[in-house]
Structure formats: C-alpha cells, structure tokens
A and B are shown apart, each in its own frame.
Chain A
C-alpha cells in the first residue's frame, strides 16, 4: 500500500478537461517530482490531491483510505499539507500568525513547531512581527513552507516553490528539503526547473496535456527522454 495514490484521476474546469485518468503514487519516505510545461495539469493535480478541487472519493487515497471527496481542511487534518502556488500568505496576519494558522483548531505533535521552523529559516524569527506580505519573495516562500510544516504533515505538497525567485534564493529554499525529509515527511514537488527537480527527487513523473507521459527514477531518465515527454514525442 502506497502512502498516497491517485486512481484514474480526472479533473475538469467547466467544459475543459484538465486531467485524463492519472495514476501516480507516493511511497513512505519518498520525494517525487512532477515536471511539465505550463498547462500540463501539474497544479490541477496538486489542487485535486489537496482537496481544493473535489474528486470521486476513490480517485485519491491516503494510507489506503479514500479522501478524494473530502474538503481541503479535512485532508489537511489527516496529514497532507500544501504549499500553494504563489505562496498565498494571509496579508492581515503577521509572519508568526501565518505560521500559527497551520495548527488551527488542534494540538499537533511532532518535530515541527515555531521554534524548529525558526531554526530552519532563522530570518523568519527576526521578521516574526512583520506582516507576511511585507517580506521578500524568498522569505515569503519560507513562511509558506513553514506554515504547511507546522501541522507536521505526513505528505507535503509543494507547488512551484521556485517560481519567480532568484537562483541563489531557490538554492537556499531547496537546502531545507533534506531536513524536511529527515523529519519524516514524504514530498511531492511540482517544478518547472527540471535540474532542481531531478536533484531533490527519488522519482519523476513528467506530465503533458493532462496525462503522465514519462515515469522513472531520477538517475535513469535521459535528458532526451524527458525532452520528448515534455514537448510531445520525438521531433519529426
């Protein structure tokens, strides 16, 4: 039994079908990267798993239990947390409050607390009383990751965490990934930056037009194979 899996997952926005029967899985302790061009359906997949979009119950299973039709808040409570695309910090909340919101309404146990988040990203401790949106892009991304970690999730979904950030900042943020893995979370990382994705992940799914076109471990996939999966088959 996988930690998290999807079965023939479909998604549509009105008349537009965004996902066509996706089967992916995530094992305990694993980090999986999902790569693909803009519009491939990566973010839709994240939104489906996290419960922003509603699915059939059996289309998403967590620890063997169907969660596809649960609301986002319930999926989060079961241990699947998300770092949403664009960070989406709460502008009315300070940095510290943004982090604390990750534990709303329940006691959580585990490695992550305000203290350990501040250890992971020391700059946030300095800025704890600033409004979340007053921070730089990279710092905001740290808050978004910390906010999701505060619930001590079993699965962390990271949607385009490098988007719009300078390379040196991206490096800083990805430097935190090993410590997140050590603390016991399994990760699904959506990335447009293929190099970064291959570096942190054990396995890679490549998506195109709502389908998985390639799957494999990071070290066995050739550049050509990824290129083909990314852009739609060998050029004629």
Chain B
C-alpha cells in the first residue's frame, strides 16, 4: 500500500485557538466592566471601541478592497444627522434611531458609489473627499437641525432613552452615567459584531475573491471574480457600518454640528493613522493601532498641536520603513496570527479516512 501525502487546507493557527479563548474572556470582562469601572474608563473605552469600528471599516475598504477613501466622514456625519433627524423630527428614541444612521448612510452611499467608482485611485480619494464636503455644506443648509451651528438632542429624548432607567436602578448611577454605560455596551456589541463580521466575510469565498481583486484585478476577472460587485459590496458594507457608528458616537456626544460630524481629521485622518500604524490589510492591525493611538493621545494630550504632529510623523515613518505596520512587523518576526484568514496548504498523513 502506498502512502500518498494528504493535503488539507487550513486557516486555523495554534495562536488563533488560544486567542479565541482569550477573546471570550475579554468580552466577558468588558460586559461586566461597568459594575466596577470608573465613568472615565467607560468613556475612554467607548472612544476606543468606536474608533476601532471606524478603523475596521476603513481597513475593509482600503486594505482589502483597495478603495482608498478620504471621505468616510460623509457617512459618520450622515449617520449622526439621520439619528438626530429621527429623534427631533419623528420623536424616535435615540437608541433605535441609531439604525436610521445605517439606513441613511446606505441611501447616500448608493448614488455616491455610482459617481465615485467612475474615478480611479487618487481621483477616487479626492472625489470621496469632495462628496463629503458637499454633504457637509448641504447639511449646514438644513435649518431644522440647526444649520451651520448645529443642535443638541432634546432633553426629553435623552432622559427617557431606552434602558437607562433600568441601568440607573441596577448600578445606582445618575442619568448621564447610565447613558455612558448604555452607549458603552452598544459600542462593545458593535465592535464585536464588526470584527466577527469582517472575519467571517474574509474567510468566505467572497473574502478570497476580495483578496484576489485587491492583488490583481485582471487576474481576478480571468478566474471569474466579479470585481465590480466586490467593490460595491465592501463600499456599501463600510458605509452602513460607518453610518451606524457615527449615529452611536453622537448619541453619546448629544451635540452635533456639520463641522464636527463631517470632520475629515476626526473621522478619516485619525482612522487612517490607526490603520496604517497598526498594519493595513489585517484585522489585528487596527486593534493594535487604536491602542497606540489612544496611548499617544493620553500622553500628548496636553501638548496641543504637537500631538497631531507626532501622529503624522509616526504615520510617515511607518509608511516609509514598515509599510505593513507594526502588526506586520510582529507577525513577520513571529509568524503570529490571531485572526488567520490566509489559507495554508498542510501536507501530512490524513488523520481520518472518512474525511
């Protein structure tokens, strides 16, 4: 009898199993955190989670989809304004109104995509930026929502927000703190759903097709991948995710203005630095990136513009000397992969003949 080598396609790595266990433990810890953590920590984590979600979606778009957008603030702003509109114009509760953010982002993303996909590479980047500017200027004309100066969520809406009463009673905190806990949990859920969703997407056949499109559009076409459909998919998914995140961020902020909600610095520049410094084209990269970003911000917060200058310089240095980011360096040195999406061919004896 001859032993033929047996090939198996494998995506799991040993690290990914133990990482899985750590993830479950971390999630449990995060859920229970409000029982003992300070309000400041909860707010910091809200910021980290929401920035991470924005970073994951930009990474999906640029790192996996090859669509380098400088206009994601369009969806943050539209999502946030849609939530405000739902609350102020229709009297919705802010929490379900967050979903309106996703719907609004989708509605503006479809015509935007028709336009932006006519543009290639650098044109696309600038085109998306212009579109975001147009939206900012249009929203500033929307007088019911405060025009150029912006507006706040009405007190009645924030006081009676879903579940805050229960949180107030359970944790024995006041309204504002209860709202922070609520938005924190929502951000946590959104982050988990985002990472899990993107991880799942990248491991499906679609994800493989996406990598093929990014690496070589022509070659991908020749093996039957519909590049245009893949671009639409990542663009719309990122838009909806970014819109929902924008709405959630402004449920916590309570106050909105066009300049803040459509800020290219806050919602795109920071996000790009997070992804680039952490490592573009990986799920781990943005996680590492957001932590570095937060630490830098805490350390340098008192130095005003020096902070952004340092951030910009780090971004440049990383791009020049470690284009795959800090996670890229780590995984190159150690082979570590927490969210393995690469398929590896394993040659070895087949463990189970029935397979």
Q: Do chains A and B touch in the complex (CB under 8 A)?
A: no
